Amino acid sequence: MSEYFLKKDGGSVKDVDPKEGIVTGYFSVFGVKDSDGDIIQPGAYRKTLAENGPDAKNGGRIMHLLQHDPLMPLGKPKVLKEDGRGLYFESKISGTSYGRDTLKLYEDGVLTEHSIGYKVIKNEPKEDANYLMELRLWEGSTVTWGANAEALVTGMKSEDKIALFDKLIKKLEAMNFAIKGNYTDETIIQLELQIKQLQQTIKSLAEMEKPEITSPIKPEPTMSASEMVAIIKSRIKK
């Protein structure tokens, strides 16, 4: 069994300072049951931050990556700590071409979500959820998707599905706007691919929400005017 997991139901962006290249937000949040049935508990990161966080003696080994790709580091979080909401971070994004594109994608509203790569050290499975009590954090990532929309829609309440569709439509609008911007060719190609994937996801979700028809409804047979007149005349004669 692999010891490295990706938690895709992560936190959101809080603020972006494009001039300084600083992004702040949450890599994950506490007390929320995610699509994996896990709930991260406060204190889950306490030990791992003491050992490998920005204030650790080793200078910090936890990285801020793009899309969980170790070949695309965005930098090391300058601040990484637990607060009342979750795992808060402040990162200075690198001045690489993909780092500059990442900042612009934040500004354009395309990148709004985060995720973590981790190992479970201690958990407490219960009937309602699997409670994650202690995690070893390897990295936090800026991601296009914080969760699999198609997987999430199953079992969701109607109002939650409406909110999800609204979120996906806003993401699509942001991508269509961003693709007209000044990005590197590699980012444009990725945006085009993500737009197609998002369009297909929205279409798939719409198909999933169509009411299931077990048997076709046969239309009532139509009657010609002459037939109707003949029936009326016959009834009058009676």
Rounded Cα distance between 204 and 132, Å, is 32
Helices (H), strands (E): how many in the chain? Answer: 6, 10
pLDDT tens digits, one per residue of 157-184: 777 778 888 888 898 999 999 999 999 9
Lowest mean pLDDT across 133-137, 216-220, 231-235: 231-235
User: CA 61, CA 77: separation in Å to the nearest integer?
Assistant: 10
Instruction: Give the sign of the dihedral formed by CA 98, CA 102, CA 108, CA 110.
Output: positive
Whole-Å CA distances, 144 to 13, 33, 193, 225 = 12, 20, 12, 61
Q: How far apart are CA 21 and CA 98, in angstroms?
A: 13
Interhelix angle 97-107/185-208, rounded to 10 degrees, is 40
**pLDDT (0 to 100) of residue 202:** 85
Token pair recorded at residue 196: 């197609």
Structure confidence by residue, pLDDT tens digits, 170-225? 989 999 999 999 999 999 999 998 899 888 888 887 877 666 555 555 555 555 55
- Tell me if residue 37 falls in helix, strand or coil: coil
Name the residue ranges covered by the structural domains of the chain.
1-147, 148-209
Query: What predicted TM-score, i.e. pTM, was given to this entire model?
Result: 0.78
